[in-house]
Amino acid sequence: MENSYLKLVQDMKSRNQLVMITELKTNDRSGTASIEKSLLNKDQLELDSINEEIKKNALNVLKTGLPELIKSQENEMVLYEPFYSEGRLIILGGGHIAKPLAKYGAEIGFEVTVVDDRPSFANPGRFPEASVVLCESFEQCFKKLEVNSSDYVVIVTRGHRHDAVCLRQVLELSPEYLGMIGSKRRVKSLMEQLIEEGFDKEQLNEVIAPIGLPIGAITPEEIAISIIAQIISKKRLNRTSLEVNKKKQQSQSDFDFEVLENLANNNEEKCAIITVVSKKGSVPRGPGAKMIVWPDGRILGSIGGGCSEAEVIIVARDLIHSGGYAIQKIDMTGSVAEDEGMVCGGIMEVLIEVYPS
């Protein structure tokens, strides 16, 4: 059987937008369950050959960023799950701020690329968390980087001239996030220079400079935290300042890449996949969060911990032996939840499925 998760992980590393479709059916007579998975990328969803209902539902979850479980017929359900790349954090400059920035970026799930033109700064020993460390001039590096609209680019080079070289090239590539370090005076001077060169003023206004949230950061680590916090704010709230507004959190599936990689490498060992398919109120994890449970009690990932997770694990281990799938509701609003110290006060619905089926 083709490992759909292997294809998923491979395609995500190419920074594709994908939808995994899981068809869940129970035979009326025998009671046996079947689980079938398929994968469609955004380009395939534009094809006329794709079923219109599937296309509509798949495009909808890509738009909302959240999975959706749809009951298609009696004893039949289909789970549509959107997946996006881990996100690439490109750090231009390998100096004192880049080091903690690469570390924090990798820890929150970004695929980190660091560029510097000095071998003593651009080497894997200095940046062990980075997926790519490129020793190349800032004039030539963009031919290898292939920056796209889903990338997050941070310019923290060692000098005004190098910042300008990077900014001129990145402006034309329109990444998701573009920030540049520097004092207000230095930034203003560079922007004026670029306007004189013919760059669009509105385009320059999109550059976040000086970079980072204004939290009074002084040390390299503090500055890196302020930058990472701003990147998270851009990713989750689609804003880059501390201003309070009514914009809701930007929806995005709450999956763990480590869980997906484990499933990609698993072709034989039976396990149960637990996926949060919906939520109401305040809960520890959002829709899309996954965890794996093995028959011997090992787990990977989390749907929030606590006694609620423990109960689901018991159901999952039983299901591994019997096969099939189950839908379970986790209620954190009642008195039992209060007695157990659950402070979230919401409801999660999870899908438990045996894998490989």
Contact 345, 332 (CB under 8 A): yes
Q: How far apart are CA 352 and CA 141, in angstroms?
A: 45
Q: Helix 184-196 vs helix 160-171: angle between axes, to the nearest 10 degrees?
A: 50
Q: Which amino acid is at 293?
A: V
Strand order in the sheet with 88-92: 132-135, 111-116, 88-92, 152-155, 177-180
Model confidence, pTM = 0.73
Reported as half-sphere exposure (CB side, CA atoms, 13 A), residue 246 has a value of 0
pLDDT tens for the chain, 357 residues: list them.
578 999 998 888 776 789 999 999 998 777 789 999 999 988 888 888 889 999 999 999 988 889 999 987 788 999 999 998 767 999 999 999 999 999 999 998 899 999 999 999 999 999 999 999 999 999 999 999 999 888 999 999 998 889 999 999 999 888 989 999 988 888 888 999 999 999 988 889 889 998 999 999 999 999 999 999 999 988 877 777 766 544 444 456 677 888 999 999 987 789 999 999 998 887 888 899 999 999 999 999 999 877 678 889 999 999 999 999 999 998 877 644 555 555 556 889 999 999 987
Q: How far apart are CA 21 and CA 210, in angstroms?
A: 43
What's phi and psi for 59, nearest 5 deg? -65, -35
Q: How far apart are CA 78 and CA 36, in angstroms?
A: 10
Domains and CATH numbers, the chain: 4-83 (no CATH), 88-237 (3.40.50.720), 257-355 (no CATH)
Q: CB-based contacts of 92: which residues, under 8 Å, 6+ apart? A: 115, 138, 141, 153, 154, 155, 156, 157, 166
Q: Which amino acid is at 247?
A: K
Q: How far apart are CA 349 and CA 308, in angstroms?
A: 11
